[in-house]
Structure 1
Amino acid sequence: MNNPIANLNKIFDSRIRLGVMSMLVVNDEIGFNDLKQLLELTDGNLASHLNTLEQATFIKVHKGFIGRKTSTTYSITTLGRQAFKSHLDALEKMIKKL
């Protein structure tokens, strides 16, 4: 019997990282404050999860300015898109076997 969770990516175990990746799959890029508001998170909590995804090279950080205010946006990398799709495919296969 095959292990049903063997193909799941541990990075996506967190519902927050799952939420971030879901939003980035359907948006070219999204800002920190938008993510924070949509996911109802604190700055520190969101930053921690974004850092994990960035370290895995699943997301790319874009820092800039809008006027005098800093602006940080995030986009999904090709590797991140592939890893997330593989994770979702593994979840789907697992569900279909039940």
Structure 2
Amino acid sequence: LPEPTSPFTYDGKVGEEKLGELLALGAEKPDLDFKAELDLGNPAKKLDFIKDCAAMMNLPRGGYLVIGANDDGTPAQNATAPTKEMFDSGAL
């Protein structure tokens, strides 16, 4: 059977317009994962994040991880905002 077509196009864009498009979908997809918060200080959550990154990298066209959104695409309330330092390869 052919793979289902994604309701959005993975184009590598990461701007506000693309974020709005992804959030408007209102649900996670195989190539779209929402994370309410990113806690890299917690080893289990850090491992979960790394697994999600690896899963997206293994998709034929890649995918998106959106930090700061609930599973339904709504903004996560009271979550700690991620910083660019959190994504430094040394931190991971």
TM-score (norm 2): 0.26
Structure number with larger C-alpha Rg: 1
The structure whose residues are more often strand, as a share, is 1
TM-score (norm 1): 0.25
The structure whose residues are more often helix, as a share, is 1
